[in-house]
Each structure stands twice: as structure tokens, then as C-alpha cells.
């Protein structure tokens, strides 16, 4: 893999959001992205890998396919692993760790396979192996075919590096960005979240409007690779902002601690001048002055017995507030229960696909302008 050589890059996506990630990848200029179960693949070079980590808001990780072969037994796996061109992208002074999954193969013991691969890396190639290594190699053995991928992200991409405080059952930034995109948000309209928690939707929307790159505040695993070029990375990493002084982004919550946390997080993200947070319940929300935009909310789901009655009342109050005060605005609600969405009385379109969130399956219910 030379600097300009192309290879397969895989953007991991939450199941149900593959098409959203594909659309984002295409919008960012990555060539011919193709959606498939669990993510999106396209061909690119190392500059594309770095840019995907820095700029993709909806993907969970960026993986690079580094090789593969057929193996029927462990000794064959170890021998062929040692023959892959590891030193084109790994360094002998940076340890790695190996994760293996096996399915429908003669090599069926993931632990034994991992040991053989690690031995090939350390003994034959001279790459150190460690449990807490900054680089991870993921190996999939299926139908006796072994495929090797390198995790170039390190920490998952929802960890933007600028959130200091989180609320109860927080929405991951990658999911928030995906739901905003599903609602048609493109950074040119105001956004309001009436149950904002730690402010994820509001902050993501403000960052998009300002043109801030989501990975600007964190480090990535690819910085430890032999292919890393600090000069090119510095150019990609340079600030890119668009002026949006007329746009404001609003959040409110009945929990005063959540409002304080959201304000702190907005400041850490550099969008405190674009955001306003208030301590109030859904029935007290007032329509902001200015043009209509998007209301997006992730209300409580009520997983415990006895909570549903209160939640139906809460959703009813939310719907009434929207219909009374937010004519011309679009609304998006994330919930596990279609009956709760229905309780709002809002004219929802067909819901989006189910998406895993916090051990549950949620859907986005959205409206056209009210």
C-alpha cells in the first residue's frame, strides 16, 4: 500500500443506518460507496482513511482491508499470516492486538487462531503484541476464508473528544447525526430539542452549521501507523468554519443538572455562542423567533412497568405544544414504541428502520412541516 495506492475502506454503521452512512460518504466525495450489512465500503487511499475518520459524522469506525487468504488449519493460518506485507503499514515500535471471529470454518476456535496470528506477527515479523495496544487487527474467518482488517479509528467515532458531561441513557453522537440527516437537516435551519439531556442533538446541529469537523478534538489509531504523514494530516485537520450568525440552536430540559451539562458541553465543542439552553418542561417551551426549523427529541421510553401512563401524558403534552406553537416546523421523535409516537397526535410519516440504541431498538418518527 503506497501513498497513492487504493484499497478497500469499510465504514462501520449501526444496523439500519447503512444507507444514511452511504449518503454521507457520497456527499463528502468518497468514490462509489456501496452499502452492505453493517456498513459501507469504497476504494480509496490513506488520505481518504484519515479524512473519513476526521469528517464522517454517522459512521462508527473506519476499517482498512489489508489482506486475506484461505486457511484450513492453524499452522496454515500462522504461515500465511507471516507472509502478509505487514511492514508496509505497521511499525515495529508500536504494539498491536488481535481480535478473531470464526464462523462455518475448520478453524473454529477464535482464541487458538488469535494466538497463532499473534505469534506470526511477533516472531516472524517483529511486531509486538499487547492487550492494551493502540492498534487492533480484526480477523474474520468464515467458510475457511480469512480476511484481515485494521481498525484505523481506535476509540469509536462517537467519542468526539469534546463532551465532558453526559446524562442518563445518552444518545451517541453518531446516532444523533444520523437521525438529523434522516430528518433532512443540512445546517441551514434552527434546531430545537425540548428534552435535550447533555445536549447532543443541539451541539451536533450547531457543529454542522458552523462547518466544524467532528474528529477535530481527538486522536486516532492511524497516527501510529507507518503510513501516517503528519504534514498531510495537518492540512486536513485545519479549521474549516462557515459563518452562520443568524442561526441559533435551542435545548431545554426539566432537569436543571442536564441543562448545566449541556451548556458545558457546548462550550467545550466551541458552539456556545450558537446555542441556548433553558430549564423548563415541554409544556413551557416557546417557539423561538426567526425562521422555522426542526424539532428533534429522544424522549424517555419507559422500560419499567408503571411508567407508560406518565409517558403517554408526556408525549401528549409534547404533541400539543408542537401543534399549538410550532406551525411550519418539522418534528422528529426517536422511540421504541409506536403507540407513544401516536400519542403525540402528530402527522408522522412512515417510520425509519429499527436501530440499536442502549440495548433497545428505536425508530425515528418524523413529520413534514406542521
Report the SS3 class of residue 186.
Answer: coil
**Average predicted confidence (pLDDT) for the chain:** 93
130-141 pLDDT per residue, tens: 999 999 999 999
- What is the average per-residue pLDDT within 183-193? 96
Model confidence at 244, pLDDT cuts 50, 70, 90, reads: low
Tell me: pLDDT of 313 over 80. Answer: yes
Model confidence at 147, pLDDT cuts 50, 70, 90, reads: very high
The Cα–Cα gap between 295 and 287 comes to 10
Model confidence at 168, pLDDT cuts 50, 70, 90, reads: low
332-363 pLDDT per residue, tens: 999 999 999 999 999 999 999 999 888 889 99
Report the SS3 class of residue 65.
Answer: strand
- What is the average per-residue pLDDT within 250-261? 95
| C-alpha cell at position 72 | 484450513
The Cα–Cα gap between 297 and 284 comes to 15
What is the length of the chain?
Answer: 370
- pLDDT at 166 (0 to 100): 64
15-31 pLDDT per residue, tens: 999 999 999 999 999 99
Q: How far is CA 267 from the centre of its chain?
A: 21
232, 233, 234, 235: CA torsion to nearest 10: 50
Question: Under 8 Å CB-to-CB from 365, ≥6 apart: which residues?
Answer: 332, 333, 334, 335, 338, 341, 346, 348, 349, 351, 352
Question: Under 8 Å CB-to-CB from 250, ≥6 apart: which residues?
Answer: 190, 191, 192, 193, 202, 275, 276, 277, 278, 288
Helices (H), 195-326: 200-210, 230-237, 256-269, 308-325
74-121 pLDDT per residue, tens: 999 999 999 999 999 999 999 999 999 999 999 999 999 999 999 999
Sketch out the chain's domains with CATH numbers.
Answer: 7-151 (3.30.2130.30), 173-213+242-366 (3.40.50.150)
Model confidence at 303, pLDDT cuts 50, 70, 90, reads: low
Model confidence at 245, pLDDT cuts 50, 70, 90, reads: low
Look at the block and give the residue holding cell 482491508.
Answer: 65
Name the β-bridge partners of 67. 148
Amino acid at each position: 500500500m503506497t501513498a497513492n495506492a487504493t484499497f478497500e475502506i469499510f465504514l462501520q454503521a449501526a444496523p439500519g443506518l447503512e444507507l444514511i452512512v452511504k449518503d454521507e460518504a457520497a456527499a463528502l466525495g468518497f468514490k462509489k460507496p456501496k452499502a452492505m450489512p453493517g456498513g459501507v465500503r469504497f476504494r480509496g487511499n490513506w488520505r481518504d482513511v484519515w479524512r473519513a475518520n476526521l469528517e464522517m459524522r454517522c459512521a462508527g469506525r473506519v476499517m482498512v482491508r489489508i489482506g486475506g487468504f484461505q486457511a484450513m488449519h492453524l499452522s496454515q493460518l500462522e504461515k500465511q499470516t507471516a507472509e502478509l506485507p505487514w511492514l508496509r503499514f505497521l511499525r515495529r515500535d508500536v504494539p498491536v492486538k488481535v481480535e478473531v471471529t470464526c464462523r462455518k470454518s475448520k478453524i473454529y476456535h477464535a482464541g487458538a487462531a488469535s494466538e497463532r496470528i499473534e505469534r506470526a506477527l511477533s516472531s516472524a515479523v517483529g511486531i509486538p503484541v499487547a492487550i492494551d495496544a493502540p492498534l487492533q487487527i480484526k480477523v474474520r474467518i468464515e467458510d475457511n476464508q480469512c480476511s484481515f482488517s485494521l481498525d484505523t479509528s481506535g476509540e469509536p467515532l462517537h467519542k468526539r473528544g469534546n463532551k465532558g458531561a453526559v446524562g442518563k441513557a445518552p444518545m451517541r453522537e453518531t446516532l444523533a447525526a444520523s437521525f438529523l440527516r434522516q430528518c433532512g437537516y443540512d445546517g441551514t435551519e434552527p434546531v430545537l430539542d425540548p428534552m435535550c439531556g447533555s445536549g447532543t442533538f443541539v451541539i451536533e446541529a450547531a457543529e454542522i452549521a458552523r462547518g466544524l469537523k467532528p474528529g477535530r478534538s481527538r486522536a486516532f489509531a492511524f497516527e501510529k501507523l507507518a503510513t501516517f504523514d503528519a504534514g498531510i494530516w495537518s492540512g486536513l485537520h485545519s479549521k474549516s468554519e462557515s459563518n452562520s450568525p443568524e442561526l441559533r440552536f435551542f435545548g431545554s430540559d426539566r432537569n436543571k443538572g442536564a441543562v448545566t451539562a449541556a451548556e458545558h458541553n457546548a462550550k467545550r465543542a466551541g458552539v456556545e455562542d450558537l446555542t441556548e439552553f433553558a430549564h423548563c418542561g415541554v409544556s413551557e417551551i416557546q417557539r423561538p423567533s426567526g425562521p422555522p426549523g426542526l424539532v428533534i427529541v429522544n424522549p424517555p421510553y419507559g422500560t419499567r412497568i408503571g411508567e407508560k401512563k406518565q409517558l403517554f401524558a408526556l408525549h401528549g403534552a409534547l404533541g400539543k405544544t408542537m401543534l399549538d406553537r410550532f406551525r411550519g416546523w418539522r418534528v422528529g421523535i426517536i422511540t421504541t414504541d409506536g403507540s407513544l409516537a401516536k400519542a403525540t397526535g402528530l402527522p408522522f410519516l412512515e417510520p425509519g428502520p429499527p436501530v440499536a440504541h442502549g440495548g433497545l431498538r428505536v425508530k425515528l418518527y418524523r413529520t413534514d412541516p406542521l
